[in-house]
Amino acid sequence: MDGYIPFVISKGDPFTRGYHLGSSETERVTHTITAYMDIFVQTSELNYEAVLTHTKCLCPRLLIILPTYLRRCAALLKEQDMIFAKS
């Protein structure tokens, strides 16, 4: 990969914009996901107990940032006159 972050301008509804971005950056997304998978495999060694340990370490951190993340998502959607549905 070349190490740059692409600047993409998409028009249309959210689905169309997401589809456009996903289809135009498939190679980059696949590369990134593969890299994360490799790191996870190396770190966890595909050992069930190691996977559980990693998960237990990450969950508290995710719970700390989740409220802020949800507020930011709601604010962005409000700017776009969209509804943030809580399930």
**What is the structure's pLDDT at 86?**
57
How many angstroms separate the CA atoms of 67 and 86, rounded? Answer: 12
Comparing 61 with 83, which gets the higher pLDDT?
A: 61
Q: What is the mean pLDDT of residues 19-25?
A: 77
Per-domain boundaries in the chain: 1-46, 47-87
Write down the pTM of the prediction. 0.36
Q: What is the pLDDT of residues 32-69, one digit of tens each?
A: 888 887 887 787 666 767 777 777 777 788 888 888 88
Q: Is the pLDDT of residue 25 over 70?
A: yes
As a whole number of angstroms, the distance between CA 36 and CA 39 comes to 5
Task: Please tell me the distance from the alpha carbon of residue 9 to that of residue 22, in angstroms, as a whole number.
Answer: 13
Task: Kindly state the average pLDDT of the residues 7-20.
Answer: 74
